[in-house]
Amino acid sequence: MSETEIGRHGGDTAPGDQPPEESGEGSLGTYLVGLGLATLLTVVSFFIAGTTLVWRPSIPIAIGVLAIAQMGVHLVFFIHITTGRDNVNNVMALAFGVLIVLLLITGSLWIMAHLNHNMMPMNQLMQMQR
Amino acid sequence: MSATHAPTHVSGLAAKRIVTGYGFWIFLLSDIIMFAAFFATYAVLQDATAGGPSGHDLFDLHNVAIETACLLASSFTCGVASIGAQARRAWLFHGAMLVTLILGGIFLALEIREFAGMVAQGAGPTRSAFLSAFFTLVGCHGLHVTAGLLWLLTMMAQVFAKGFRADIQRRILCFSLFWHALDIIWVALFSMVYLLGAGS
SS3 (DSSP) at B92 = helix
Confidence of residue B1 (pLDDT cuts 50, 70, 90): very low
Encode pLDDT of A65-102 as tens digits. 999 999 999 999 999 988 888 889 999 999 999 999 99
Specify the pLDDT at position A85: 84
HSE-up of residue A124 (Cα within 13 Å, Cβ side)? 3
Does the beta carbon of B46 lie under 8 angstroms from any beta carbon of chain A?
no
Burial class, B160, CB count within 10 angstroms (exposed 0-12 / middle 13-18 / buried 19+): exposed
In a domain, B50, yes or no: no
Chain A contacts in chain B segment 102-161 (CB below 8 A): none
Radius of gyration of chain B, Cα coordinates, nearest whole angstrom: 20
Contact A1 B39 (CB under 8 A): no
User: Would you say the C-alpha torsion B95, B97, B99, B101 has a positive or negative sign?
Assistant: negative
CA distance B125 to B32: 23
Contact B72 A42 (CB under 8 A): yes
Specify the pLDDT at position A129: 67
Q: What is the CATH number of the domain that holds B97?
A: 1.20.120.80
B26 versus A126: which is more confidently predicted? B26
Q: How many angstroms away from the CA of B24 is the closest CA of chain A?
A: 9
Q: Which amino acid is at B18?
A: I
Specify the pLDDT at position B102: 97
- Tally of structural domains, chain B: 1
Encode pLDDT of B60-108 as tens digits. 999 999 999 999 999 999 999 999 999 999 999 999 999 999 999 999 9
Domain residue limits at B86: 60-199
Average pLDDT, chain B: 91
Strand partners, B10: B13
In a domain, B14, yes or no: no
In a domain, B87, yes or no: yes
DSSP B192: I
Q: pTM, whole model, 2 decimals?
A: 0.87
Tell me which chain B residue has its CA closest to the CA of residue A102: B36
